[in-house]
Chains A and B, each alone.
Chain A
Amino acid sequence: MKRNLVRSTFFYVGVAVILMFFLLPPLWLLSTSLKLPKDAFALPPKIVFAPTLENYASILSNSKFLKALVNSIIIAGTSTIISVTLGSLAAYALVFFRVTKKKDIVTFFLSLRVAPAIIFALPVFFLTVSLGIRDSHLVMIVVYSVMNLPIAILLLMTFFEDIPGEIREAALVDGCTEWLCFKRIMAPLVRGGLSATGILILLSSWNEFLLALVLTGQNSQTLPVAITNFLTFQGTDWGSMSAAGMVIMTPMLVLGIAVQKYLVRGMTLGGIK
């Protein structure tokens, strides 16, 4: 009994150390966002301090930051809806239809997941420059939709594969059209998969940096690019930057925890169920 207690105490100390390592950076971000500049850089770090909301007030009244927030919501949101919609149709067909060269099609989508963004970035950049459509929401929505479509397809395939094909066949025998069958019966059955896919895609567009850095400007700048603006000529404003970091990360954290059980599967493209 006593030995057990000692052992389990040691075990929990180990767990605490592990959590310390992985949670220190986000906790640091949180505490810096609540500190005045004079406390933020104190060494040893101030664990007890008078919290202030000044940093949040300052970023929420910063029109550039707010604009970037709105841009991020519009761009990531719209592109997610587009990729999930197109992706679910394609995945449905790949799973349930007899498609010739199915294997090649899947490999094709996979190869697009592997290609580095920079090879995509330069031609698209040059195209938008030549067409004079650089720095617009539309460009970013199209770019992110295309970037995430292969992931959506591959991932949703694994969710559709979980559903017995007989359900669809029975519905078709009953005179249901393919479209209605997809919309009314099959899509609702993979609701969890759809939301997990959506959230993963939203997360990847929300956090994306390279394409946004290259393709956006004053009008369409997204949050990850906007936050680097706190590294200003006049000195880094770490307080506001931390508050901005919290604002960027919190919605994704909430959504991520909501679909936790699908998330691991999603991150491996369904390779692990």
Chain B
Amino acid sequence: MQNPQTKWFLWPSIVIMAVVAIYTTSYAVYMCLHDISLLKRPPYEFVGLEQVGEVLGSSRAHSAFLRSFIYVFVSVAVQLVLGVAISLYLNRDFRGRGIVRALLLIPLVMTPVVVGLIWRLFYDPNSGIINWFLNTVFGIGTIDWLGNPSVALGALMLAEVWQWTPFIILITMASLDGMPSDPIEAAKIDGATEWQIFRLITLPLLMPTLIIGGMIRAIDSFKVFDLIFVMTRGGPALSTETVNMYAYIEAFSNFNLGRAVAMSFVMTLIVSIAMTWLYSRIVRMD
């Protein structure tokens, strides 16, 4: 039997979220099916699935989808590898461990817009510190980090990796702290190498943490907008235009709201169905 109090405790949240979800979805469907442009006055013309078809058939949209996937996949993979490596390195008792952990929080709480602005300053080909450093120490000539299409996406990903690797480090460290030491001690006595211990014992024990951490990062990097907006706005030559950025430009620079919604609708379907399925599998139902 349901608790009679449910309606006071749970229903407000469910009702609010359901109204928002239903409204947003149906409105998005409406916008998808109509040619809504800020350069036209209502009533808006019904165009059916034309705009969705345009998105699915456009090579610019295909590249944007591919780019979003590359961005997510590469930056999350690097965060995981780097994060695990650093947390294993820090996984011992040393003076200042607590301070190191606290300091690693700093990137996590920084406003992404500010992060983007700082990195833009670092990447400046003429007055940025990165080129200056590479030049003085290694004698490497000027690299136009954000202006060269073959490196610009990588440069954005580095900023993303910088901000979120500490997240992987902190959750991995927490997980290592709670790990039983017996199997490792036993393996050491049996003469196992450090690499064998990591591969056969530590890594499997870390796996659940890394899957959750990786999922969360993947969900959030699909949404990334602020970093790109501040650093490149999708340029040069579209080399950093993710789906989010493309939808934004379509909506607020070309004023085709209908097509922008069609685009984000397709993306939302692809990304959120996959992610929700995986996520609910892994996080809540294990």
Q: Which positions in A face B, CB cutoff 8 Å?
A: 8, 11-12, 14-15, 18-19, 21-23, 25-26, 28-29, 32, 41, 43-45, 86-87, 89-90, 92-94, 97-100, 103, 105-120, 122-124, 126-127, 146, 149-150, 153, 178-179, 182, 203, 206-207, 209-210, 213-214, 223-224, 227-228, 238, 241, 245, 248-249, 252-253, 256-257, 260, 263-264, 267-269, 271-272
Contacts and interface: CB of A to CB of B under 8 A. Distances in A.
B268 A115 contact: yes
Given A93-B10, A126-B27, A257 B272 contact: no
A87 B145 CA distance: 44
B1 interface: yes
Interface residues of B, number: 93
B24 A120 contact: yes
A87 B31 CA distance: 31
A114 B13 contact: no
A209 B224 CA distance: 10
Given A43-B127, A90-B12, A116 B222 contact: yes
B86 A18 contact: yes
Contacts of B138: none
Prevailing SS type, chain A contact patch:
helix
B105 interface: yes
A86 B5 contact: no
B44 to A, nearest CB: 11
A94 B109 contact: no
Contact of B268 (A98, A119, A238): A119
Contacts of B115: 25
A114 B275 contact: yes
B27 A127 contact: yes
A111 B276 contact: yes
Interface of B: 1-3, 5-6, 8-10, 12-14, 16-18, 20-21, 23-24, 27-28, 31, 36, 86, 89-90, 92, 94, 96, 100-115, 117-119, 121-122, 127, 129, 132, 136, 162, 165-167, 170-171, 174-175, 209, 212-213, 216, 219, 222-223, 225-226, 229-230, 244, 247-248, 251-252, 257, 260-261, 264-265, 267-268, 271-272, 275-276, 279-280, 283-285
Contacts of B105: 253, 256-257, 260, 263
Given A28-B118, A149-B16, A268-B216, A98 B1 contact: yes
B26 to A, nearest CB: 9
Contacts of A117: 223, 225
A116 B8 contact: no
* Residue in A93, A122, A149 whose Cβ sees the most chain B Cβ within 10 Å: A122
A217 B115 CA distance: 23
Contact of B129 (A45, A150, A249, A256): A45
A118 B225 contact: yes
Contact of A97 (B5, B107, B109, B166): B5
A203 B279 contact: no
Given A86-B12, A93-B10, A122 B257 contact: yes
A97 B2 contact: yes
10 contacts: A11-B94, A18-B90, A93-B5, A97-B10, A107-B280, A110-B280, A116-B244, A116-B272, A209-B112, A253-B106
Contact of A146 (B3, B16, B129, B165): B16
B114 A227 contact: yes
A119 B264 contact: yes
Given A29-B118, A149-B17, A41 B279 contact: no
A205 B224 CA distance: 15
B16 to A, nearest CB: 7
Contact of B10 (A19, A89, A209, A252): A89
B162 A22 contact: yes
A145 B94 CA distance: 42
Given A111-B276, A264-B170, A25 B3 contact: no
B226 A252 contact: no
Contact of A224 (B18, B111, B260): B111
B129 A118 contact: no
A113 to B, nearest CB: 7
B116 to A, nearest CB: 9
Contacts of A182: 9
B51 to A, nearest CB: 13
Count chain A CB atoms within 10 A of each CB in B103, B118, B222 and give the residue with the most: B118
Given A209-B111, A210-B225, A257-B102, 19 more contacts: A11-B94, A15-B96, A18-B86, A22-B107, A26-B110, A28-B121, A90-B13, A99-B6, A115-B272, A116-B244, A116-B268, A119-B261, A126-B36, A146-B16, A149-B17, A179-B5, A214-B252, A227-B114, A260-B101
